[in-house]
């Protein structure tokens, strides 16, 4: 850690270690426009408090399932409506994934709760599959 004119600054290695990341991850995020650490003497990156905060925000967004393109779109705009649109789009996609996972869990629970020796012969399991597949009658 080194002090700079605008406060404390960190090397790329120090920031990577702080968050348990490889340094190439921070370099990649810089190459796609998510980070903009100033260069000391034109070569070595020096991360200030705002850069460290940005890394934490990127990680939280990734934990929430956001892709880097969405993170970049949210960082790049000062328009709250645009940020809300990204969040809404992500929420809708997440709700669809959750619904699909819940349907899968329900099907597995049905199979596990089956009293038959083989779920392939269970009418309840067949009904659950048919509900998922729908009517297969010729049109």
Which contacts qualify for 20-25: CB closer than 8 Å, 24 or more apart? Answer: 21/55
Residue 16 scores a pLDDT above 80 = yes
DSSP state of 118: S
Binned at pLDDT 50, 70 and 90, residue 129 comes out as confident
- Quick one: how far is CA 84 from the chain centroid? 16
- Residues 68, 69, 71: CA angle, nearest 5 degrees: 60
pLDDT number for residue 124:
76
Binned at pLDDT 50, 70 and 90, residue 114 comes out as confident
Q: What's the predicted TM-score (pTM) here?
A: 0.69
The fold for domain 2-76 equals Multidrug-efflux Transporter Regulator; Chain: A; Domain 2 (1.10.1660)
Report whether 47 contacts 11 (CB < 8 A).
yes
Q: Where are the domains of the chain?
A: 2-76, 89-133
Q: Tell me the C-alpha distance between 24 and 59, whole Å.
A: 15
Q: What is the pLDDT of residues 41-65, one digit of tens each?
A: 778 899 999 999 999 999 999 999 8
């Amino acid at each position: 850690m080194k002090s700079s004119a605008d406060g404390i600054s960190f090397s790329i290695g120090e920031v990577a270690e702080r968050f348990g990341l490889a340094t190439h991850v921070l370099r990649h995020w810089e190459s796609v426009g998510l980070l903009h650490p100033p260069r000391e003497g034109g070569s070595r990156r020096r991360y200030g408090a705002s850069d460290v905060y940005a890394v934490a925000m990127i990680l939280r967004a990734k934990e929430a399932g956001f892709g880097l393109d969405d993170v970049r779109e949210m960082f790049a705009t000062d328009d709250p409506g645009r940020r809300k649109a990204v969040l809404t789009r992500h929420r809708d996609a997440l709700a669809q994934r959750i619904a699909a996972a819940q349907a899968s869990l329900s099907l597995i629970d049905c199979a596990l709760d089956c009293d038959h020796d083989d779920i392939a012969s269970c009418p309840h399991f067949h009904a659950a599959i048919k509900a998922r597949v729908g009517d297969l009658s010729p049109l």
